[in-house]
Amino acid sequence: MKTLLKSEAATSPPAMTSTAAQNSFPVSHNVARMQTSATMAAMQAAEALRAAGVNVCDFGPGEPDFDTPDNIKQAAIAAMKAGRTKYTPAGGIRELQRSIIEFYRKTFGAEYQPAEVMATAGGKQAIFNAVVTLIDPGDEVLIAKPYWVTFPEVVIFAGGTPVFIETEETDFVLTPDQVEQAITPRTKLLILNSPSNPSGRVLPPADFRRIMELTSERGIFVVSDECYLRFVYPPAQVFSAASLPAELRSHLCIAGSFSKTYAMTGWRVGYALAPAAWTQAMLKVQGHSTSNTNSIAQWAAVEALNGPQESVTEMLAEYTRRREWLLRTLCDIPGITCATPEGAFYAFPDVRALLKNGLKTSGEFAQRLLEEEHTVVTDGAGFGAEGFVRISYATSMDQIKEGAERIRRLAEKILQT
């Protein structure tokens, strides 16, 4: 059990994974430098406990606990029955491309052309495509800490150098000044993620715009990961880089996803919106790797965008309720402080005041929580933020209440000893 929850990003060897070393498998240089995901490690820890019959409180999941809405499932069934089960163009069916373009036109007033949109196997593939088509060895890619685990790994895979921007002093909200200070002559790309996984923080629109001005003045490319776009809690505002003027979007790739918005994580549909030349390069990579994303899921995604949107509103209302309860409760636990997340479905509390009496790292805290209270959280070190843990509230209110009680019990125990 001990090894399961530890953030591998914080602990694994720099040159080659131990499995590869043991098997003498000649893993390629760049892949050898990649880390396995900390979020996957948390998921495995929860599964192992459950399999042993333990009553686990699982704050690990990075996916909605809701079912995919029925109208979307019905669209997939209809697509199958209609024989829409063959290859599609690598960039996706025209109906899906048009629906994505229409969504951005209606919602953000952005005019995208079909040559600037492609469907991908989740937002993750859009990010992968965008990075590998742009980055050469020696290129620097700016990534704000804490970051979603995949960002640095994709950059490393492409042979680039992740350059991390510390944001703790601004409560994990990236500022234009921080970006400006991190830029060097080798900076090729900046990856933005608002709302953020793991912090849930949201970039204020004015700062977002200023950052886009800074980068576009210098010809630096930007990937804006907007996978949590629709889960924003007022007074914070839903903001997409698509709403910026066209001249600020000439170096921009938006990575979007159906996974979180429509509870469709397993369907694997996302998209990239980028200038035509960048999209063409991404199509080349995708055409020679996965080809198109699943044809049936693409038809389901068309329904997701064009059908009733009540399910999104209902999910957001439920996340709002959970978030309020959880934040109030977390902030009341001795030794824990937590900045208010304005989006996504994560809280990212600071547990450093609990790192005492033998506990040195947030990984050890998470491990102790797992062993003594059977509660899974994800170690912040895996997201580049040692001393923090990620708590996902994409789980039922009952689980949240029970889990919060368990965290309180451990915190009180640590502080009493």
Ligand X SMILES: Cc1ncc(COP(=O)(O)O)c(C=O)c1O
Task: Report the interface residues with ligand X, using CB under 6 A.
Answer: 62, 122-124, 148, 193, 197, 225, 227, 257, 259, 265, 270
Cis-peptide, bond into residue 152, ω within 30° of zero = no
Of the two residues 97 and 193, which places its CB atom closer to ligand X in the complex? Answer: 193
For 348, which DSSP code? -
Of the two residues 197 and 367, which places its CB atom closer to ligand X in the complex? Answer: 197
Q: How far is the CB of 33 from ligand X (least distance, A)?
A: 21
Backbone angles phi, psi at 133, to 5 degrees: -85, -10
Q: How far is the CB of 232 from ligand X (least distance, A)?
A: 14
Dihedral of the alpha carbons of 408, 410, 415, 417, in degrees to the nearest 10: 150
Q: How far is the CB of 208 from ligand X (least distance, A)?
A: 16
Q: How far is the CB of 101 from ligand X (least distance, A)?
A: 19
Q: Where are the alpha helices (DSSP H) in 138-292?
A: 150-157, 176-182, 205-217, 276-287
Q: First vs last Cα of the chain: how many Å apart?
A: 24
Of the two residues 319 and 408, which places its CB atom closer to ligand X in the complex? Answer: 319
Q: How far is the CB of 154 from ligand X (least distance, A)?
A: 11
Dihedral of the alpha carbons of 152, 287, 280, 140, in degrees to the nearest 10: 20
120 within 8 A of 91, measured Cβ to Cβ: no
Q: How far is the CB of 405 from ligand X (least distance, A)?
A: 27
Cis-peptide, bond into residue 235, ω within 30° of zero = yes
Q: How far is the CB of 51 from ligand X (least distance, A)?
A: 23
Of the two residues 69 and 335, which places its CB atom closer to ligand X in the complex? Answer: 69
State how beta strands 270-273 and 346-347 pair. Answer: unpaired
Of the two residues 292 and 361, which places its CB atom closer to ligand X in the complex? Answer: 292
Residue at shortest CB range from ligand X? 122
For 12, which DSSP code? S
Of the two residues 266 and 287, which places its CB atom closer to ligand X in the complex? Answer: 266
Exposure of 11 in the CB half-sphere (CA atoms within 13 A):
17
For 332, which DSSP code? T
383 alpha carbon, distance to own chain's centre: 10
Structure-token pair, residue 280? 């063409």
β-partners of residue 162 are: 141
DSSP per residue, 215-230? HHHTT-EEEEE-TTTT
Of the two residues 221 and 414, which places its CB atom closer to ligand X in the complex? Answer: 221
Interior angle at CA 172, CA 234 and CA 199, nearest 5: 65
Of the two residues 39 and 133, which places its CB atom closer to ligand X in the complex? Answer: 39
Of the two residues 193 and 216, which places its CB atom closer to ligand X in the complex? Answer: 193
Q: How far is the CB of 260 from ligand X (least distance, A)?
A: 7
Cis-peptide, bond into residue 114, ω within 30° of zero = no
Q: How far is the CB of 410 from ligand X (least distance, A)?
A: 26
